[in-house]
Structure 1
Amino acid sequence: MGLNDEPPPLSGGVLPLGNVSLLRPAEQFFDEMLAGWTTQQTSRMLAAQTIKTRASQVRRFADFCNTPPWEWSPADVEEWTTSLVSGPRPLAVSTVRAYQNAVALFCDYLIDHRYGWVDRCVDLFGTHPTQVCHEWNTVIHTSDHEARPAVRPLCRAELQAFFDYADDLVDRARSSGRKGWQTLFRDATLFKTIYAFGLRRRKAAMLDLHDFTRNPQGWEFGRFGVCNVRWGKAMKGSPPRRRAVLAVFDWTRPVIEEYVTEVRPRFDIANESILWPTERQTRIRLEHIDDRFADWRDDLGLDPVLHPHCLRHSYVTHLIEDGFDPLFVQQQVGHRWGSTTALYTGVSGDYRNRTLRRALDAAFTPPEAIEGGSR
């Protein structure tokens, strides 16, 4: 039975749902199921975007099957998954797992007898939904890090080339009087800020001007000594986590200060707090960040697998290479576990060689060669 197909009529010739007669029974009953699932997730205080995304994924599965939930089977999951990983643009393993997880959670909700969907489906359709996702047809989470192996931090030369290119574009546009140099300046500063504080895209895009404060132990950075992240990655059922990221690079203050004092005021800003406004007086879109980074990356001939999140990886790697304490770096990027921070780190061969040399010198230097040493 497809989503728009009508089941055999009951007494009276209609399919009743309470006191309502349904014109498209399967489709409308499916909508009611999704609405109930939305309410259940809202009660658990899950993020609205999470709920919306899951519902979209379930609908995508339903469209693929062209059948209502009470007719889904494990074979449908397997055929759908095969379609997701086939073709010229197969989905990543983590994305496939998210899709499968949404379907599995929806089925768990439907077969929970506390909600009554099983009984209602049996009464109305003569069958009921089952759990179609199991350990033999879904992706198992076996690794903490599932990014594509080719994705890596930018080396220092690549990072410098990227920032230099961004600055050159701004200078050429401003000197020629071209419209839009302010936007180029904003984007160049945004990418530098992402790297300077090891931010994710969304956290950077959501920054407000007052999210920067002074650090009494870092007077050199002025009002930009601390970046207060208010939209950190949330745990399930919890609000976004907050953290304070300390400025560590000496160029941070002049870069952000120039943008804030000389360029940002040129935007017609309705909301005075937005740090990265657009010409339409809205916050910058994540898609714009992705597209701008890709354009500049491709213009420079850099590795096409690099994306904005690689700036965060670069931040972690370069701090470790420069000798910052791993616990400090972990706290800066907001990781709960040091093992997660380690996954972000791609220290260079030079750094490892220096570390090895220090260890060897300490192990094999004779006592008389150490200042103050004696036999």
Structure 2
Amino acid sequence: MNKEQNAFLNLFIEYLKIEKNCSPYTIDVYKKDIQQFFLFMSKQLLGHVKEVSAQDVRIFLTELFNEELARKSIARKISSLRSFYRFLARENIVESNPFAVVSIPKLESRLPDFFYEEELQHIFRSCDTTSMLGKRNVAILELLYATGIRVGECTKIEMKDIDFSISTLLVKGKGKKERYVPFGSFAHTALESYIENSRSKLMDKNKTNHPFLFVNYKGGPLTENGVRDILNRMMESSATKGKIHPHKLRHSFATHLLANGADMRTVQELLGHAFLSSTQIYTHVTSDYLKKTYMSFHPRA
């Protein structure tokens, strides 16, 4: 990556941070996808971003397929680069967007991955609730499942965003949109225990001072990658098969609400989806969920 390319990438990152309010995780994904394309440009002897043609993009797409990447990964990379070139065109750095004419490969139809209720109960039962970090970890797990919030929304929570009197959380979502989400008694208890017995002690011990709810072992604000690492370690200690990630808890939240009779509009509001179509996929998930539950427990299934 030459100096000019690096300057364009830094401009785009600033745009993602300030104007699009993207999470650090999302920005990191964009950055890696664009850097990969810069390597491709170097191999093709393309020195400037405006030298890239639609034909070059098709060659790049062929290379991605030859690497046998998942269609979802390829689609994401093309989408990242399309956004990058749209930004360059807006800034008059390039005249046109060569990625605008390339179609994103059709994705395989996959249902969201989620936990069954008994799986979650096993994870909760295996949690350490005695240590300071254990109390924090349980509070994170309880809150993610209780509210269905995204990991980026979780790390942005400040102390003033929680109203314990009515068990409600102010969530700062995508595009700076805010919504209120209720949480139940288990999350309420876990949060109070963490705040009273862990958060202040970790911050006092390390002489830190900030408004964020969740802190790392040094008392600083917890990052998105920090949350993912915590969940993975909790999963390992529970000896539960499969993988865990924040979005799997979000999927579980939506699936369990709909399976137990919640209406879709309410779930849409709780998830912070702009469109109902984003929520409708969970109707397919709940059908699978109910069928498996029936097959497991009906005496004549």
TM over 0.5: yes
Alignment of 1:104-253 (within 5 A): 104-105=85-86, 108-109=89-90, 115=92, 131-135=97-101, 137-139=102-104, 149=110, 151-166=112-127, 170-171=128-129, 174=130, 181-213=131-163, 222-223=164-165, 225-230=167-172, 232-234=173-175, 240-247=176-183, 249-253=184-188
Q: In the aligned structure 1, how far is the partner of 2:258 from the partner of 2:178?
A: 23
Contact kept in structure 1, 2:136 and 2:214, CA below 8 Å:
yes
Structure with the largest fraction of helix: 2
**CA 1:210–1:337: 2 relative to 1, 3 Å:** same
1:166-188 Cα deviation digits (max 9, x unpaired): 2xxx25xx4xxxxxx31222112
Which consecutive aligned stretches of 4+ in structure 1 deviate over 6 angstroms post-superposition? Answer: 35-39, 48-53
Contact kept in structure 2, 1:225 and 1:246, CA below 8 Å:
yes
Shift, 1:62, TM fit: 2.2
Contact kept in structure 2, 1:233 and 1:241, CA below 8 Å:
yes
**CA 1:274–1:71: 2 relative to 1, 3 Å:** closer
**CA 1:188–1:133: 2 relative to 1, 3 Å:** same
Instruction: Indicate which of 263, 276, 284 corresponds to 1:325.
Output: 263
**CA 1:312–1:226: 2 relative to 1, 3 Å:** same
Contact kept in structure 2, 1:84 and 1:96, CA below 8 Å:
no
The TM-score, its normalising length taken from structure 2, stands at 0.76
Instruction: Indicate which of 19, 29, 37 corresponds to 1:45.
Output: 19
- Residue 302 of structure 1 pairs with residue 282 of structure 2: no
Shift, 1:70, TM fit: 4.0
State the secondary structure of the residue aligned to 1:194.
helix
Contact kept in structure 2, 1:212 and 1:224, CA below 8 Å:
no
Q: In the aligned structure 2, how far is the partner of 1:29 from the partner of 1:266?
A: 47
Q: How much is the aligned-residue C-alpha RMSD, in angstroms?
A: 3.5
1:30-73 Cα deviation digits (max 9, x unpaired): 5666677778x58x934476788756644432222112224323
The TM-score, its normalising length taken from structure 1, stands at 0.63
Which letter maps to 2:148? G
State the secondary structure of the residue aligned to 1:92.
helix
Shift, 1:212, TM fit: 0.9
Higher RCO, 1 or 2 (CA under 8 Å, sep at least 6)?
Answer: 2
Shift, 1:317, TM fit: 1.3
Which letter maps to 2:241? L
State the secondary structure of the residue aligned to 1:245.
strand
Q: What is the aligned partner in structure 1 of residue 299 from structure 2?
A: none
Q: How many residues are matched? A: 279
Which letter maps to 2:231? F
Which letter maps to 2:171? V
**CA 1:332–1:351: 2 relative to 1, 3 Å:** farther
